[in-house]
Structure 1
Amino acid sequence: MVRGPARLGVVLVLACLVFASSAAISRTSATAAVGPFTGYLMAHFTGESATGEQIYLAHSQDGLNWRDLNGGAPVLLSTVGTRGVRDPALVRSPAGDRYWIVATDLRIASGTSWNDAANRGSTSLVVWESTDLVTWSAPRLVNVAGSIPGAGNAWAPEAIWNPATGDWVVYWATNAARNGVTKHRIYSARTSDFRTFTAAQLYIERPGTQGIIDTQIVEVPESVGGYRYYRASADGHITVEAANSVLGTWTTLGNLSHLGISNGATGGNVVEGPMWARFNGRDEWTLWLDQYATGRGYLPVTSTNLGSTGNFRTRGDYGMGGTRKRHGSILNLTAAEESRVLARWGTTAPTNRIQSYNYPDRYVRHANFDVRIDANVSPAQDAQFRLRPGLAGGSAYVSFESVNYPGYYLRQEGFDLVLAPTDGSTTFAADATFQRVAGLADGAWTSFRSYRYPDRYLRHYGYLLRLDPIGDAQARADATFRVTS
C-alpha cells in the first residue's frame, strides 16, 4: 500500500501519463484511423465547357495512371450560386466516417469574365457531404469570404485537419484591398462541420504586389524531410514551404525553377493548381501541376524527401485518362472505399430511354425538373436515363438516374414525378425506387410499381408522369412502357 508523499507521487506520475496520452491523441494524424490504402481517387473539373465546371472523378491503382469514372461524365452538379464549380477538394474525417467536397463557386462558361469573377464574383464556397463517398448531399453555399472588406471572390478552397485545435482549417484565395494593395491572398477559417465557420483571417501574403492562389497542404506524419506539413502555392513560382503546425511559422524551402517550371515569374513551363498525393505504402510523394498555359494537362513531379525542392523530378510514365483534368485533389482510398467507388462509378451503366406504350413516338423526359412524355426530345439527353439498382430494396428494384444530371433521380412528390438530386435519405430512396413488372397492357412491355406505394404505378396523364392506382384499360395503357437503348 502506498502512503503519504509516495502515494501522491504515484498519482502525479499517473496524471502525467494520462496527460501525455491525451497529448498524443491530440497530435493524431487526420488519417491515423484510416488505412491501409489500396487506390487513389481524384476529384476535378475539366474546363469551361457547358458541363466542364462540375465535379468529375477519376481512379488510379498506381497513383500515376488514371481512368475516368462514370464514363467521363460529371458525378455531381452544382445547383446553387453560379451553378458551376471549380477546384474541388476531397476531405475525409479523421475517423474515416464522413467526407466533404469543397469547391469554388464559379462558372466561366456562363459568360462571366475573369475580371468580374475576380473582383465581383462569389464569396461563397460550395460544399457536399457524404458518409460513404458515393451518396452525396445536395450542395450548399457557405459565405466564407463575405466578411473580408472588399472581397471579390473565394477561389481554390482546401481543408486540413488541425490536431492542435481539433477542427478543420479551411483556406482559400480572395482578391481584396489591404494596406493599399489589391491582390489575391490566402485567407483561412476554422470549422468542425463545414456548416459553421469562424471569421476569415489572413493566412498567407506575399510581399509587395505579388499575389498568391492555389495553395495546397499535405501532412507527413513521419516528418520525412524534417517537417510535418508541406504546402505548395502558385505565386509566380510554385513555392514549397514547410512547418510543424498548420497555423505555425512556415519556412520557405524553394521552388521548381531548376525543372524549368514556374507560375509565370520566369517563364518556362507555366503551371498552376498544385495537387499533392502520397504513394501508397512508401515514402514518396507526387506534386501534380496543371500545365494550363499550354493546355497539356497535369504533369507529375515526384520526391522521396520533401525537405528540399532539389529532390523533385519530373515523370513521364503516367496517363491522365480521356478527360482533361483541371485543378482538383487526390484522396488515398482504403479497400472498402475503393470497392464502393468502383461499384458506383467504375462501370458505365447503359443509357436507356423509356418509351410510352400508347404514344410510341413519345419518351419519358425531364423538363425544368418536371417529368413528362414528349416526342422529338431536345436536347436528347433529357430523355436518357441509367437504370441503377434500386436506391431502396436493392437489385430487385430500379431507380432512374438522369444522364445529363448525374445524381438526380426520378422520384415522386405528392404522387407527381420530378427530377431531384438525391439527399441520401431513406425517404428519397423509397420515393425514387420502382419494381419492374410485366406490362399492365402488354406483358411483352414493362410497368413500374412504386416501392413506397405498391398499389400505385408510374403512368402518364395529360402527358405528365405521376403515380396512380390503375383501374381501367386506359390507365393500364398509360402505365405501360418499354426500356429501349
Structure 2
Amino acid sequence: MTATTGPGPHPSRRLFLGMAATVPLALSGTLALGTRPAYAADAAYVMGYFTESAALLDANYGLHLAVSTDGLRWMPLNQNNPVVTPTAGAGGLRDPFIMRKQDGTFVVLATDLKGFDWGYNSQYIHVWDSADLRTLTGYRRIKLHDMVTHSWAPESFWDAGRGAYGIIYSSVNASGHGVIMVNYTTDFQTVSSPQVFFDPGYDIIDGTLAVGVNGVNYLYHKRDETLVGARSTTLNPGSFTPFSTAAAHGATEAPTLVKSLTSGSWYLWGDTYSPNGVFYAWQSNDLAAGTWTPLDQRLYTQPLNSKHCTIATITTSEYDNLVAKWGSPAWNRLKSYNYPDRYVRHANSVARIDVYPFDPYTESQWKLVPGLADSAGVSFQSVNFPTRYLRHYNYDLRLEENDGTATFAADATFHRTAGLADSAWSSFRSHNFPTRYIRHTGFVLRIDPISTTTDKADATFHVGY
C-alpha cells in the first residue's frame, strides 16, 4: 500500500532504527507446535481484502473475505460486506494478511490505517485469531517499534530455524527510504526487537514471501511502481538479493504470490493505485527464472472493489463452511468475453459494457431471476433499481420499469445457453426473437442475429461476481 504522493513512504520520515524501544520476546529453543498440516489437504482458496471503488462510494476498511476453487475467479462472502472491523487504533484496516499457523489455525494481520491518512504513522498492527475464519477472536493490536513512522502491509512466515514466526512489514530506515522490517514472535502477542529484513538501498514497500521453494526463499515487493523479486537460501535478515525482471500494468503495488494447487504454476497478483484499483495477475512455471507472463484477464475475476489482497489455501470443508456461514452473493456481474476489462452495466437507462472500475458500482450488479415470461429463462433485475429490468426495445437493451404487460415480460426474458465463443461462458437468446442474442456493438448492448466469429465473441459473457 502506498501514499498517493509517490511509490514509497514520505521522504520526511527520517528516523533512526536504533532509537526504537521494543517489546521483549521470550524464545526458549524450538516451539512444540508440531508440523504444519500438509498442504495436500487444501483444495480451495480464501482471499482477504478491503474495498475502495472508483469514486469511493464503496470505501470500507474492514476485513472482507472471498473464496475460490481455482484461485482465479472469486466469490465474495457476506454480500461483499466486512466480516470484522477493527475497533481500536484508526478504527479501520488496510492490507490484510491471512496465514495458517503451525497448529492448523489461522492468524489475521492488517495495517492499522483507515482511508488515506498516510500521516497516521501507527507503530501497531491489527491481529485476530481464528480456528476456521468463520469466527475471529482475540482482537488486539501489537506494537512493532517505537519510531515515528508506519508499520504497513504486514505479512508473516514460519522460520523453522528460529522456531518462531517472522512478521515483515514496510517502514522507513535511518536514511529515510522505504525498507522491509521484521520482528519475531511465538504467539502474536509479544514480539522481538525490529530488524531490517531487506534494504536494497532504494525505496521499496509491500513485501510478500514464498518460503522453501526448492531450497530457496523468494521475496517479492514493489519498486518504482513495479513488482520485483529478491531471493535467499536462508530467511536471515539482510540475506536477500534482487534477481527478477519487473512485472507491472501501469502503476502496480501490493504483490501476492500464490502457488496453484493443481499444477506447477505460480501466480503473482498485483494491484493498481487507490482508489481506482484493478488486480492484474502474472504466471510463472519456474520461480527461479524470475520472469512472468501476463495472465489473460478472461481467466480471472477479482472480488468487486477489492484492494490489496491476501490469498491462502484452505480445505474443501473449510470452503463449504465459509460459504455456509457468510453466504454467497445475491447478485452477479457479467464480464465481456472479448473485452474482459469491461462489465455489463446500466448508465442513464442504457445497457452497455464499460471498463471496470466505475461508480456507481451498483450499476453492474444484477439479480438473475426466473424469466418474467418463461420461468425456464432468465430476467436481469437491477440491484440498485429493483423494480427495473433489462428489456429490448427496437432491439436496443434498456433498463426500464416493469409495467406488468405481457410485452414487457417477453422483452425482458432471455434464455441462457452455452457461450457462442466459449462453451464455458454464457450467451443469452431473446425469448420473443429467438434468432437474436444479447451482444455489444460500440460497447452498447442490443439483440442481433449472430453469425460471424466477432458476433459470437460480442455475444459471450462470464456470469460471476
- TM-score of the pair, normalised by structure 1: 0.57
Structure 2 residue identity aligned to 1:205: D
Q: Say if 1:220 and 1:202 are closer, same or farther in 2 by CA, change over 3 A.
A: closer
Q: 2:192 aligns with which of 195, 198, 204?
A: 198
**Within 1, Cα distance between the matches of 2:85 and 2:306?**
17
Per-residue deviation, residues 311-344 of structure 1 (Å, max 9, x unmatched): 5443323343552221121011112221221211
Q: Which residue of 1 aligns with 2:140?
A: 140
Per-residue deviation, residues 46-70 of structure 1 (Å, max 9, x unmatched): 1366751110011111111111111
State whether residues 208 and 256 of structure 2, in contact with CA within 8 Å, keep that contact through their aligned partners in structure 1: yes
State whether residues 80 and 329 of structure 2, in contact with CA within 8 Å, keep that contact through their aligned partners in structure 1: no
**Within 2, Cα distance between the matches of 1:194 and 1:338?**
25
Q: 1:188 aligns with which of 182, 185, 208?
A: 182
**Within 2, Cα distance between the matches of 1:231 and 1:338?**
28
**Within 1, Cα distance between the matches of 2:280 and 2:330?**
31
Q: 1:347 aligns with which of 320, 323, 328?
A: 328
Q: 2:169 aligns with which of 168, 172, 178?
A: 172
* Larger Rg belongs to: 1
Q: Say if 1:293 and 1:133 are closer, same or farther in 2 by CA, change over 3 A.
A: closer
Per-residue deviation, residues 182-235 of structure 1 (Å, max 9, x unmatched): 12211101011100101111111131xx211100001244x1xxx432111112
**Within 1, Cα distance between the matches of 2:300 and 2:212?**
26
1:252 aligns with 2:242: yes
Q: Which residue of 2 aligns with 1:297?
A: 278
Q: CA RMSD in A?
A: 2.6
**Within 2, Cα distance between the matches of 1:173 and 1:81?**
18
Gaps of 5+ in 2: 1-29, 332-465
Q: Which residue of 1 aligns with 2:77?
A: 69
**Within 1, Cα distance between the matches of 2:164 and 2:150?**
24
Q: Which residue of 2 aligns with 1:218?
A: 210
Deviation of residue 347 (structure 1)? 3.4
Q: 1:273 aligns with which of 254, 268, 276?
A: 254
Q: Which residue of 1 aligns with 2:130?
A: 130
State whether residues 49 and 65 of structure 2, in contact with CA within 8 Å, keep that contact through their aligned partners in structure 1: yes
Structure 1 residue identity aligned to 2:92: G
Question: Identity over aligned residues, as a percent?
Answer: 24
Q: Which residue of 2 aligns with 1:337?
A: 318
Q: The residue matched to 2:70 in structure 1 has which SS?
A: coil
State whether residues 103 and 126 of structure 1, in contact with CA within 8 Å, keep that contact through their aligned partners in structure 2: yes
**Within 2, Cα distance between the matches of 1:228 and 1:251?**
12
State whether residues 302 and 315 of structure 1, in contact with CA within 8 Å, keep that contact through their aligned partners in structure 2: no
Aligned length: 296
State whether residues 100 and 128 of structure 1, in contact with CA within 8 Å, keep that contact through their aligned partners in structure 2: yes
Q: Which residue of 2 aligns with 1:232?
A: 220
Per-residue deviation, residues 29-58 of structure 1 (Å, max 9, x unmatched): 975534322111000111366751110011
Q: Say if 1:346 and 1:244 are closer, same or farther in 2 by CA, change over 3 A.
A: farther
State whether residues 76 and 328 of structure 2, in contact with CA within 8 Å, keep that contact through their aligned partners in structure 1: no
Q: Which residue of 1 aligns with 2:375?
A: none
**Within 2, Cα distance between the matches of 1:101 and 1:298?**
21
State whether residues 240 and 253 of structure 1, in contact with CA within 8 Å, keep that contact through their aligned partners in structure 2: yes
State whether residues 277 and 307 of structure 2, in contact with CA within 8 Å, keep that contact through their aligned partners in structure 1: no
Structure 1 residue identity aligned to 2:42: F
Gaps of 5+ in 1: 1-24, 262-267, 351-485
Q: Which residue of 2 aligns with 1:393?
A: none
Q: Say if 1:32 and 1:174 are closer, same or farther in 2 by CA, change over 3 A.
A: same
- TM-score of the pair, normalised by structure 2: 0.59
Q: The residue matched to 1:338 in structure 2 has which SS?
A: helix
Question: Whose helix proportion is higher, 1 or 2?
Answer: 1
Q: The residue matched to 1:217 in structure 2 has which SS?
A: strand
Q: 1:310 aligns with which of 265, 268, 291?
A: 291
Structure 2 residue identity aligned to 1:308: A
Q: Say if 1:277 and 1:195 are closer, same or farther in 2 by CA, change over 3 A.
A: same
**Within 2, Cα distance between the matches of 1:296 and 1:82?**
22
Q: Which residue of 1 aligns with 2:38?
A: 33
Deviation of residue 94 (structure 1)? 2.0
**Within 1, Cα distance between the matches of 2:85 and 2:71?**
26
Q: The residue matched to 1:339 in structure 2 has which SS?
A: helix
